[in-house]
Amino acid sequence: MICPNCNNISFYSLANDYIKCKTCAKKLSLKKIEKDKTIIKEFCEDKNALETSKELELNYKTVKDRFDLFRKKIAIFLEEEYHNSIKDYTEYEEFYYIKEREKKKKRKSLSEAVNIIGFYSNERVYTLLMPKVGNRAFDMEDGFIQYLNWYKIHSKNSHQTKLNLFWKYLETNLRKYKGIDENNFFFYLKEYEFKFNYPKEEQIIILNKLFFHN
């Protein structure tokens, strides 16, 4: 255990499962630490907040607040990883995320699409949100798909990288949610970028470090 306040690793043991940092005297609950570690594990196993709250017999809002905090910390972590990485823009692709309810409409509008550009570099996927495309609408499914294929930005090798797999992975996982507020879409995007790039055990290690030590 590392003290989240001063990074010290030495503690006094107190009554009722509490410990106290020998350097800054911050008190920590071992029970709360274990609870948060379990919530992190459930998050990395791709359980949603409702499933986790029922499984662990915890208050739903407590779990949801933790999940939202995890997503924000992940977003900052991935932004730092991207800025510190060696940039290789030879493989990239623009992607339009269409909400499920919009897909079912005969007349589809680009104003409802979330515009994302993905880069595949250093064996990882990086994503950036792009400005809205506009309000052009199409009556026919074929016309809509043709427009996306004609006008989207992509490198000639993008279909050979993991970008294609990531878009499918993203759509499959976002489908589990009945609706995501557009203001929060970025954080869900970064959650699945994180989960796609890192194996589960590594996710748990990284998220524990982000949550307890940052």
Supply angle C-alpha 157, 158, 164, rounded to 5.
140
CA 46 to CA 52: how far, in whole Å?
Answer: 10
Tens digit of each residue's pLDDT (9 = 90 or more) over 52-64: 999 999 999 999 9
Task: Look at residue 106 and tell me whether its pLDDT is greater than 70.
Answer: no
Q: What is the mean pLDDT of the chain?
A: 84
Query: How high is the pLDDT of residue 143?
Result: 57
Rounded to an integer, what distance in angstroms lies between the CA atom of residue 171 and that of residue 43? 18
28 sits in which H/E element:
strand 27-29
- Lowest mean pLDDT of 5-19, 50-64, 140-154, name the range: 140-154
Q: Distance between CA atoms of 3 and 20, rounded to whole angstroms?
A: 9
Query: Band of the pLDDT at 145, cuts 50, 70, 90?
Result: low
Query: What is the C-alpha to C-alpha distance for residues 106 and 102, in angstroms, rounded to an integer?
Result: 9
pLDDT of 190 above 90: yes
Look at 105 and 61; give whichever has higher pLDDT: 61
Q: Which distant-in-sequence residues (6+ apart) come within 8 Å of 121 by Cβ?
A: 85, 86, 87, 88, 89, 91
The answer, yes or no, to whether residue 110 has pLDDT greater than 80, is no
Over range 154-164, report the average pLDDT: 72
Q: What is the DSSP string of 92-154?
A: EEEEEE--HHHHT-SSEEGGGSEEEEEEEETTEEEEEE-------EESSHHHHHHHHHHHS-B
Contacts of 157 (CB under 8 A, 6+ apart): 90, 91
Classify residue 187 by its DSSP letter.
H
Highest mean pLDDT of the ranges 1-15, 28-42, 56-70, 150-164: 56-70
Q: How far apart are CA 173 and CA 46, in angstroms?
A: 9
Residues 6+ apart with CB under 8 A from 151: none
Q: pLDDT at position 42, please?
A: 97
